[in-house]
Amino acid sequence: MAFAQLKPQNKQSVLNSSVSKSIIKTLAYFDVFSYPITFNEIYEYASIKSAAVLFEEELNILLKNEVIFKTGDFYALSNNPLLAIKRNNENRLAKEQLPQAIKVGKFIGKLPFVKAVGISGSLSKNVAYDNSDFDYFIITETNRLYVCRFILGLYRRFTKLLKKEYHVCCNYIIDENHLIIPEKNIYTAIEIASLIPVAGKNVLLNFYYENNWRNATLPNERRHIIPATKKIILKQSLEILIGNIFGNILDSLFRKIAIKRFNNLIKKGKNYNKRGLCFAQFDKHICKNTPGTFQNKLLDKYKKRLQNLESKWNINLETEHLFSL
């Protein structure tokens, strides 16, 4: 049954509750990725604490008044069934690729100085494509971040020689004494919430605790099931071997090499990837790729989408807290 389109002033009354506004803000975020979401995802990534039954009631009101739309199990701001087809295909590929990504992540967790590993990026949102990268968030021992990064580089080269490369991308590495993520916004909050823990139970628990700032905007975040990590004698032996001043010297040397190599890529015009111009951060306690300032571009796009919705419906969605937490 089709419902008549409401006049703009009536949509103001439909969107006058904090739950409805939260639903719209959540759908708008994933709309940036052209990704419709389920009820559980709406609830988990909603910006207010409320009973699930209230979310169900508000969703039904929004659907009835054609503020939002539903195809199968997926909700979106636009009435486009192709988005659901696209999501189903991405979910299917993610289901196929996730077991291998977990297997690789567990192996990375066994490497020297790696304290914790989580799957990040699109795969952590149940999204994959043909030949997708396996993105990992890694926590290392203090003052061994660049030693660890060097070992990870050797691992990637070794798998390439064996023709078993899985497009491993260690796109965010921090050490265990610097667990707080400096950028506090909706993007980083969702990245933390959607992380799939693979190894390093105690360190990951500390990481979640240190970044509890995200609870202000994701109060319904699900609990993380973190597998315990077995002790490995070879790993511990290698850590003891360079767990001294020699290891500190190595870490500083590998950091200088990483910076020099990246600067040479810039000079040669090779600092590009599939997302465009690629920048990187090589601080002592954090190393990450920032391709084309992706985070800033995404947040700008999200902010504009929210502003357009506010203008369209003449409402205030109360969005300030999403961009600075």
Position 277 scores a pLDDT of: 46
- Which pLDDT belongs to residue 231? 73
Neighbouring CB atoms inside 10 A of 289's CB total 18
pLDDT score for 9: 44
Structure tokens at 150: 């060097």
Contact 60, 66 (CB under 8 A): no
63, amino acid identity: L
Question: Cα–Cα distance between 243 and 141 in angstroms, integer?
Answer: 10
The per-residue pLDDT for 273 is: 53
The tens place of each residue's pLDDT in the chain, 325 residues long, gives 344 444 444 666 778 899 999 999 999 999 999 999 999 999 999 999 999 999 999 999 999 999 999 999 999 999 999 999 999 999 999 999 999 999 999 999 999 999 999 999 999 999 998 877 899 999 999 999 999 999 998 888 887 776 666 678 888 999 999 999 999 999 999 999 999 999 999 999 999 999 999 998 999 998 888 887 777 877 877 788 787 888 899 999 999 999 998 888 777 766 555 444 456 789 999 998 765 478 888 999 999 999 999 999 889 999 988 988 6
Prediction pTM value: 0.88
Cα pseudo-dihedral 196, 198, 204, 207, rounded to 10: -40
H or E element at residue 125: none
Please tell me the total number of residues recorded for the chain in this structure: 325
Please give the pLDDT value at position 233: 73
Element (DSSP H or E) covering residue 146: helix 145-161
Cβ neighbours of residue 32 closer than 8 Å, sequence gap 6 or more: 298, 301, 302, 305
Count Cβ atoms below 10 Å from residue 136 Cβ, excluding itself. Answer: 28
Q: Which two tokens stand for residue 138?
A: 């890694």
In the numeric block, which tokens belong to residue 214? Answer: 């995200």
Helix (H) or strand (E) holding 18: helix 18-31
15 token code pair: 């969107």
145: nearest Cα among 295, 298, 251, 304: 251
Phi, psi of 273, rounded to the nearest 5 degrees? -140, -165
196-199 and 272-273 beta bridge pairing: unpaired
**Separation of alpha carbons 82 and 77, rounded Å:** 13
d(CA 288, CA 285) in angstroms, rounded, equals: 10
- What domains are there in the chain, each with its CATH number? 9-79 (1.10.10.10), 96-295 (no CATH)
Which runs of E-coded beta strand occur in 227-313? 272-273, 276-282, 286-291
Q: How many CB atoms lie within 10 A of CB 182?
A: 8
Residue 236 in tokens: 């511990």
Residue whose tokens read 């609990």: 223
